[in-house]
Amino acid sequence: ETDAAMLSTTSTSPSRARSAPTATRTMRTRSLRSARASVRARRAACARAGRDASGDVVARTGRAPVDARDGASWRDDDERREGMPRVAMRATVGAVVAMAVAASDAEAITENQMLYLEAWRAVDKAYVDKTFNGVNWFKLRETGLKNDDLDDRETTYEVIRAMLAKLDDPFTRFLEPEKYSSVTEQTMKADVSGVGIEMGFDDDKKIIVVAPTPGGPASEAGVKAKDLIYAVDGAPTVDKSLYEVAEELQGPQGSKVTLSVDRGGKQSDIVVQRKRYTVVPVTSTTCDVGENKKIGYVKLSAFNQVSGAKTKEALKALKAEGVNSYVLDLRNNVGGLFPGALEIAKALMNEGTIVYIADSSGERDVFEADRSALDADTPLRLLVNKGTASASEVLAGALRDNNRATILGETTFGKGLIQTLVPLSDGSAVSVTVAQYRTPLGTNINKVGIVPDKPLPLNDAGEDTVPANADDFCAYARTAPDLFL
């Protein structure tokens, strides 16, 4: 420390530097070597920890980048040293020595601190709102590292949750390892166990049913799209995340759970029995409606890994039977895997934009038809309702904006945000809102939805009267064929 202070002082006085005795020069030389070693050691430690030399998290490339804020770049300085004026070199090194000494007192980054930084970085790199809801995101990182107790893993999880809560985004959330594992497993499976509900948040951040899974326990028990769930088995859902409520809905197969719901201001309890059920994403049939007219009905219940292929198989079979029109039923289809929507859109239109994906910088990706359609000409009707969401809305918007289909029903749910799951080093993950869907005409789907061209006939309760299964649909279509031709 004495050497560093002396170097800092003498480097600002050229006359004193030139007249210094030989012993002092030797001491300075050793200090220079020590300074270089300290800076290099700091760079190596930062690179291993995933930070650059100024403390910023960086991609783990095995080395830290050269940064002007570091005070000097030793790789370049070693090459330029012989031609550099002696005093200027000493001045540069003197500044770096002060930094190196300060750095030598810093503690090595811990695993919990690294986990916190990983979560911070996931949001910093990809979050759709670069104002971060008015939060100084960089300062929040520094505050978290300096002031929060990250000694144990559970405390670190709490600090990460508190950090994400400042975004006021119910879809950007932290998932513990077991929850992350459960989410990824359920997304990829067609055979699941539970109550069969897709949930979201309304404008007041209340838990809302996007739609019950067709044929699932909740649907059979009478749960409807847009029901507000205010309690599960008597425990209020206020201020809980979607994952916390989903966890409360889970339980042993055959057990029962009570959902307290609010439907248009009327509150009631619905008892649902948990059971294993199979999601059948696609069913289809040909409806003979008379006068040599045929309607091809396709019910698309979900977008999973087989939805695109199964829908294309159904379209091929219906086309071979010579149908005069298609009806694609997307009611209560809450979405799922986005590629399925693209595959089906491409099967029904030869050209045109399918969807724009926009992030904080504007348009990021454009997906377009590629002239691979199975049938781009046969008239098409889409049935939608308030339980039609996400990938279903992408498909509906693409077909409507390209004048490929007529939309029948009611305004869709309006779930147009895109999340990605970013895994962290301990098996946990962060769900981050990264972008939003926009239709080919530029409509932002989120909280707006797709407005239909025409409504479907309604009963006295305000529900459409068109059946949602193949056999009953055909019987109904025979009574009103013009609605679907």
Q: Which positions are annotated as active-site residues?
A: 390, 415
* Cβ-Cβ contacts under 8 Å for 293 (sequence gap 6 or more): 324, 481, 485
Task: Report DSSP state, residue 441.
Answer: T
In the chain, what is the straight-line distance between the N-terminal and C-terminal CA atoms, in Å? Answer: 87
* Cβ-Cβ contacts under 8 Å for 255 (sequence gap 6 or more): 273, 274
Contact 394, 338 (CB under 8 A): yes
CA 23 to chain centre: 63
Task: Report DSSP state, residue 255.
Answer: -
Tell me the longest C-alpha to C-alpha distance in the chain.
112
Bridge-based pairing of strands 325-329 and 380-384 is: parallel
User: How many other C-beta atoms are found inside a 10 Å radius of the C-beta of residue 162?
Assistant: 13
Contact 432, 123 (CB under 8 A): yes
Token reading at 291: 């006068």
User: How many other C-beta atoms are found inside a 10 Å radius of the C-beta of residue 253?
Assistant: 10
* Cβ-Cβ contacts under 8 Å for 173 (sequence gap 6 or more): 161, 164, 241, 242, 243, 430, 431
DSSP 412-451: -----EEEEEEE-TTS-EEEEEEEEEE-TT--B-TTT-PP
390 — alpha (psi -120 to 50), left (phi > 0) or beta? left
Token reading at 236: 């209020």
